[in-house]
Every structure is written in C-alpha cells, then in structure tokens.
Structure 1
Amino acid sequence: MFTKLSRAKVFRDPLYGYIQVNYKIISDLIDSREVQRLRRIRQLSGVSMVFQTAEHSRFTHSLGAYQMANLVIDNVEGMDKVSEYERVVFLIAALLHDIGHGPYSHAFEHVLECSHEDMTVKLILSKETEVNKILSIQDGLAEDVASVIRHDNKHPLIESLVSSQLDVDRMDYLSRDAYMTGATYGHIDYFRILRSMKIIDGTVCVRASGVHSIEAYLMSRYHMYFQVYYHPVARAYETILEGIYERIKDLSMEGVRIDASIVSFLNVLKNNDDIESYIDLDDTNVNGFIKQLTWCSDPVLNKLANAFEKRHLYNFVELVNEPDEKFLDDLKKKYSNMEYGKYFYKNVKVSGVAYMHSPKSDINAIRVLLPDGSLKILDQYSPIIKGLKSSSYKEIERIFYFED
C-alpha cells in the first residue's frame, strides 16, 4: 500500500543512535516545508535562558517521537496485529504532531488564542501545504492523521499512543529534554516501558512486572515540569515575550503602525487561517523583528524588546512563600497606576499532578495487566500512584514585575 525506499534513510541521534526511515511518504514529509520549519523553533523556548544547552528544536523532537513510534511497533506485543495502514498513520501522526507550534511555542498560543493542536490539524488539512499534498497520495489519509490529532476516536489505539499519559510524544521529550538540559531526574527507562506494554482488544496495557518503570516515568515527568519547564527564570523570559506579543496586538487593534517588519505576525493575529503567514513565522522571524523593535518609537515595545535582547528579566515573587502583604499591595498599586503597567506586571499560575485519571478522561488511564489476565487501573494497583493521585497536585503562583 505504501512505497518503501530502496535503501533506508537514517538520521544520527544522541538518544537512539540512528533514526531509520523506510517509507517514502515519511521521507517526503520530513523534507516538507512545514516539518523543516520546526528546525527554526526551539523545543524549550525560554528554558535555554536557564539551561544553556537546551538549544534543541521541535524538529529533533518530532523525529524522536517518530522513532519512538517505530520502537512501539517493533517492541510492543500486539502491534503486529495492527494493519500496515494504521501503523503508517501512527508514524505520520507522531512525526507531524507538533507542526502547528508557533514561534516560541506556548507564549505565542496565549496571544493568538489558538492551540498548536488546532493549528496542526489546519496545516494537515489545508490544500496550501506541502504536507497535505504529500498525504493526498492516499484517499482519506490526511483526514485520518488529523483525526488522530483531534482525538475523534476513529483510531483510538493510535490516538492513545500519540497523545495520552503514556505516549510516544512524552517518552521522547522527557528523555530528550533531560539529555539536553542535564536534568538527571528526567531520564526514563523507555525500553523497559515498551517491553512491558501489550495491546489487548485495541487498548494499551502494561504488565504488572513493568509497573515500577511506569512509576519512575510518572515521577520523572512531574519533576521535569516543576524543575525545568516551570522554572521561574524560563517563565520570566517567556513573560517578556508575551508582553511584546500583547503590545503588538493592542497597537494593531488601535491602527498604530509599528516600525518593524512584522507583516506575517500581524496577518496571523488578524486571521489564524492565514496558513502562508503562519508557516512564515518561526523563532528566527520573531528574533529578527524583536531586534528591530529595540529601536522602536513605542516606549513599551522598546523597553520590552531591549529587555528580551539583553536578558534583563522580570523579577518575581512566589506567593507560596507568603511574602510581605504590604509589599505585594504596594507592588500592585504601583503598576495599576503606571501608564502601560499591565505589560510589566503579570500574575502567573502553573499547576501539575503526577498522575491524572478520571472516568471522564479515559484516554489518560494506564491499565495494568495482572498475571491472571485481569486488568486494573494503575492507581488501583500501585499504592505509590494511588497516593500521588491525591497528594501530588501542585500549584505555583508567581508575580512577575519589571524594574529598570
């Protein structure tokens, strides 16, 4: 059904040694404009301001998620019973799952008010994209890949393998981000996890003998979020970026001309269905216009752009530490009364939990296969996870404020 390359294409990778491509359609998708664009978008955005080696791109992660999907196919019992068509849909969805990310990723989403998953679906289905033209060689293929990203329940097994609490996306980014940041608590035994997985009646299960590796994986993810992804310095850097985006948006709504080359950005702000402009946006594009904004006549953009360029970050107060109430009140009044104060004072909350499962989010359930063939939900089987489900919820609230 799908043409194979006469000779496999390989990519060297620090995690897997080699990433192997056997299908021509995968090779063509990797070379597409939309996937190559991911080379110019950092995987970890502002985290590189703290962990200086975290310079890897969304492209390297997307290839990694694809390779993890290959490892699932080769190592998870029961995947041999999945049709070739669904296996290729799985490989493609793993490769393309992040193509909708904007420059500096999540900071861009907050201002655009459109998730990267929604943009991924748009890029897959748009007749304007190279990705869509490549997928169109097979009737219905683009729609099937998009349905996996949307969680339409058309291919429930593939959906859970691409996006759930135990999926190829998370297993690659935890391993890759830990490697690139040097954060040892993010290392996971993904091969042991894969060997413990089994497909039963179209559902992913984990053998009881592999539960320890799942417990370690969930704790690694939990620590990575609070020690790396939510690091206050990384969040301070992204807060400056969000302020720049917000100011540009506000000025554009007022009809004010901005002295920088931001045509594509403005086009997307006005209409996030402008696919051509969206594809034009990446970290390189944003870095270029922020450098121009360091000479901008608008005082807010000038100040924020210079802060971004020079790493002059927001100060922050963590409210969990019960800071002085008078200090907080004075701080809030100062920025409330300040012209443009809303761009320089932000209240930011982040939260996380080690294991999430409820009857309403069944895709997040991790099922344990017992020796007698029966199944139990992970938190019913593991006392550690049962305790984490009720006690690991953590919320951090910080006040970020900018001082000259």
Structure 2
Amino acid sequence: MVGCYGKLPEEKVFKDPVHRYIHVRDELIWALVGTREFQRLRRIRQLGTTYLTFHGAEHTRFNHSLGVYEIMRRMLDNFEESDTWDARERLICLASALLHDVGHGPFSHSFEKVFHMDHEAWTRQIILGDTEIHRVLAGVDDQFAQDVADVIDKTYPNKLVVSLISSQIDADRMDYLQRDAFYTGVSYGHFDMERILRVMRPTEDQAVIKLSGMHAVEDYIMSRYQMYWQVYFHPVTRSAEVILSRILHRAKKLYHDGYQFQDEPKHFYSLFHGSMTLSDYLKLDESVIMFYFQIWQEETDPILSDLCQRFLDRRLFKYVECDPSTQMNHWLELRDLFVQAEIDPEYYFIIDSSSDLPYDFYRPGEEEERLPIHLLMPGGEFRELSRESDVVEAISGKKRTDHKLYFPLDLLEDDRTHADTKKKILTLLMSQEG
C-alpha cells in the first residue's frame, strides 16, 4: 500500500494488438486511466495527418500511452532483483509512463508549431493543475504529482527513472516504433523488444544493455531510422501537415483582421489571443478541429474555404525537391511568379524541412544533449554503443535533412487566368523535379 492505493482485487487487462495484453495491477494506474483527461487521448490520433497517407494509421495517443505503461511495467518486473526501486518509486515510473503524452493537443506537432505550444508543458499543467489526474496522484502523497511532473520535465533527481521514459532507448520509443509500424502496415519498425528487455540492466543514471544484446539494439536503431524517413517524414503526410498549418494560420489572421466568421470559432478565441487556460485546452480534440474545418468550407474567404476542402477531401499539394540554402534566387523568382498569378504564396508556396538524428554519442553542453546507449561488457565496464557497433558508428552524429516545396498543381494547371505566368511556373517546377 502506497498512500491510499494498493493492488487491485483482480488484475485488469486490455487486449492490445502490439503487446497482446496490457496488465494493470495497481489501483493508482486504473484510477488514472479512468480520468477525463486521460480518456481525452482517445480523441487525439497518435500520428496526426499520417492517416491520409497510410489509411490504417487511426490509432490514438490513448493506445500508445497504455503501451508505454506496459513496457515500463515489464522493465520494472525485470529489474525486481535490484534494490533500485521501492514501492513509491515504482509507481512514479508507471504513472509517468502512462501520463507522458497526456498534454498532446489535436494533430499534435502541427498544432503546436502554429500556436507556439509545448505538449510537455501542458502535460505538467494537467498533472499539477485542477484536474482529475492531479486529484488521483495526490492520493499517494502531497509530493507525488510534483515528482511525476518532474520526470516529464527531466528534472527528477533519479536519472534512471527519467531515462526509462526519455532517452535514446526508452519505453516511449519502443512502443511507438512497433505500434506505428503495425497500424501503418510497414515492416520497418519491428525489432526484438523482448530480447532488449531481457538484456537491459539498471544503473545509477540509466539502463544499460548487456553486450550480448548489441545486435538487437542495432536493429532497434535502424528500425527507428527507417520509420522516420519512410513513415514520419513521408512527403504526402507532410503535404497534409502543410495544409493543416496553413488553415490554422489563415483562421488566426482572419480573426485578428476583424473577419466575420459565419459561425464564431469560440474554441479558438483563447488560442488566437495567446491566453489559453487549462480548461480551454482540455476541450480541444480532433473532433472539435474537424468540426470547424467542415464549417469553414463554407466561409466566404476563398483561401480558408479552399484549404479546408483540400484537407477534408484529400486534395493535397504536390511537391518537388528543393534546397533553399543553394537555390534561394530560384525560389524567390518562383514566389514572385505566384504573386503575379494571384496565388497567395503565403498559403500555396511552402518550403517544408524535416531532419532527424538517428543516434548520437555524448556531446556535453550541446543543445538537446543526448545520453548515449551504453553496453555492459563482460568485465563489468561500460562502453558507448557506437564504439562497439560498426552499424551504429556509421550513422552516429549524422543529421539528415530533407527539403520539399509544396504547391497546388491544380491551380497552376487552370489556365483560365494568368495562363502564361502559370505555364512559366510549371516549367520551372518541373525542371526542378527532373
């Protein structure tokens, strides 16, 4: 018994397509799952607009959060022989794993970029604010909610706990790689998680991997690399994200310009003013956003109406490869031609960049400092992974970046107006594509 929580009289089980079963044995975890803030995650997709590329990607943050909890539970079961955990610390790990994404907004990262938000900051507010989740956590003791928030903030004094949820090999990544691969139908994200869990050992600062498990970790890192470039950064998904962000930008601009919406976007008022409260935030989910997109199709503003129709009907932008660092004059010329053709480049000429660093060794003091994966050698010493693995060494510290220019091909092919200018634009774009 910790605080007012003990073990459930009977274990609760969720049937899960990735982990087969998710086991809940603690009253605290079962109570958290039942809170309104956690249930809201059923209405937030895990992969944002990816369902417009991979039609099976309809899974939610709720699915994923349960999966992260289950992996954490298995980790802790494997660590039982160590003296690292007491009952309270174990509950901190499980609650932090379950709640790590509770602050995500609709369409997650696209939404955050437009309104300059941080889902981890909202997660901490939900944990510490006037919420059902906070009241459940406070049933352990007065400090418990703060400790869970500190784990999310990566400031919790037990670095091992933080690393199990946020590191280069953690419960979060191990779930989303497998879950996202399953629901998108690709093979890239599969790796031998059971093997990794069996060879994972706790230390003071992080979990390390026995040398005998190195090849399973190599597979995990390459799976992550492939998932980012084949799924997460898929150019069609990015096209949908570009349109989504432009819709939100346009609605915000129109509101500040005094535009009279046919139906007032009440759910967006505090967003547009940068004064969103926790209560306001928790009322937002993807069903609310999609409701407004349906409404905005009928608005008199042609740009907002067109963008909403494109998103809902999946009439996405086309794209060509581009490199703004070396071809800036070319893109400036194209942008000017869009203006001449009366196609607003602010909404229809978008350069989007994606980058990823699949694995990095320790670079103290650098931005987004990464704790490397360490191998436990037969003699008891630790070795950084890339020093033992030729596979990982080949990609360590190498950041890959991709740039694409997105544009509405259908508007350019409509030669009823500005035919010569549009023809010139198409010629320039197609030469870039070739």
The TM-score with structure 2 as length reference comes to 0.88
Please list, as runs of the form range in 1=range in 2, the aligned pairs for 1:109-124 lying within 5 A after superposition: 109-124=112-127
Question: What is the CA deviation profile of residues 248-301 of structure 1, one whole-angstrom value per residue up to 9, with x for unaligned ones?
Answer: 121222233322352122223324541111111111111111000110111211
8 Å contact kept, 1:318–1:399: yes
Which residue number corresponds to residue 406 of structure 2?
Answer: 400
SS in 2 for 1:59: helix
Which residue number corresponds to residue 364 of structure 2?
Answer: 359
Give percent identity, aligned residues only.
Answer: 37
**In the alignment, is residue 4 of structure 1 matched against residue 11 of structure 2?**
no
Indicate which of 137, 141, 159 corresponds to 1:135.
Answer: 137
Whole-angstrom distance in 1 between the partners of 2:80 and 2:339: 59
Q: Post-superposition shift, 1:81?
A: 3.0
Query: Would the alpha carbon gap of residues 278 and 371 (structure 1) be closer, same or farther in structure 2, given more than 3 Å must change?
Result: same
**Unaligned ranges ≥5, structure 1:** none
Which residue number corresponds to residue 34 of structure 1?
Answer: 37
SS in 2 for 1:395: strand
Whole-angstrom distance in 2 between the partners of 1:203 and 1:234: 35
Please list, as runs of the form range in 1=range in 2, the aligned pairs for 1:120-199 lying within 5 A after superposition: 120-127=123-130, 129-137=131-139, 138-199=141-202
Whole-angstrom distance in 2 between the partners of 1:249 and 1:56: 29
Aligned length: 402
8 Å contact kept, 2:160–2:203: no
8 Å contact kept, 1:367–1:376: yes
The aligned amino acid for 1:380 is R
8 Å contact kept, 1:73–1:79: no
Question: What is the CA deviation profile of residues 158-192 of structure 1, one whole-angstrom value per residue up to 9, with x for unaligned ones?
Answer: 11101111110000000000111111011011111
**In the alignment, is residue 374 of structure 1 matched against residue 377 of structure 2?**
no
SS in 1 for 2:55: coil
Moved more, 315-324 or 7-16: 315-324
Whole-angstrom distance in 1 between the partners of 2:218 and 2:242: 33
**In the alignment, is residue 251 of structure 1 matched against residue 235 of structure 2?**
no
Indicate which of 80, 104, 107 corresponds to 2:107.
Answer: 104
Question: What is the CA deviation profile of residues 39-82 of structure 1, one whole-angstrom value per residue up to 9, with x for unaligned ones?
Answer: 01111111111111111111000110111111111124755531
The aligned amino acid for 1:285 is V
8 Å contact kept, 1:317–1:323: no
Q: Post-superposition shift, 1:334?
A: 2.5
Question: What is the CA deviation profile of residues 308-357 of structure 1, one whole-angstrom value per residue up to 9, with x for unaligned ones?
Answer: 11111011111269999997455322334546430122111111122123
Q: Post-superposition shift, 1:221?
A: 0.3
Indicate which of 207, 211, 214 corresponds to 1:211.
Answer: 214
Whole-angstrom distance in 1 between the partners of 2:383 and 2:64: 32
8 Å contact kept, 1:47–1:54: yes
The aligned amino acid for 1:364 is L
Query: Would the alpha carbon gap of residues 163 and 69 (structure 1) be closer, same or farther in structure 2, given more than 3 Å must change?
Result: same
Query: Would the alpha carbon gap of residues 260 and 163 (structure 1) be closer, same or farther in structure 2, given more than 3 Å must change?
Result: farther
Which residue number corresponds to residue 341 of structure 1?
Answer: 345
8 Å contact kept, 2:324–2:331: no
Q: Post-superposition shift, 1:223?
A: 0.6
**In the alignment, is residue 24 of structure 1 matched against residue 17 of structure 2?**
no
The aligned amino acid for 1:383 is D
8 Å contact kept, 1:76–1:194: no
Whole-angstrom distance in 1 between the partners of 2:354 and 2:370: 23
The TM-score with structure 1 as length reference comes to 0.94
**In the alignment, is residue 234 of structure 1 matched against residue 237 of structure 2?**
yes
Whole-angstrom distance in 1 between the partners of 2:177 and 2:290: 26
**Unaligned ranges ≥5, structure 2:** 412-434
SS in 1 for 2:396: helix
Which residue number corresponds to residue 290 of structure 1?
Answer: 293
Query: Would the alpha carbon gap of residues 80 and 68 (structure 1) be closer, same or farther in structure 2, given more than 3 Å must change?
Result: farther
Query: Would the alpha carbon gap of residues 103 and 362 (structure 1) be closer, same or farther in structure 2, given more than 3 Å must change?
Result: closer
Question: What is the CA deviation profile of residues 133-170 of structure 1, one whole-angstrom value per residue up to 9, with x for unaligned ones?
Answer: 11121211111011001111423111110111111000
8 Å contact kept, 1:236–1:314: yes
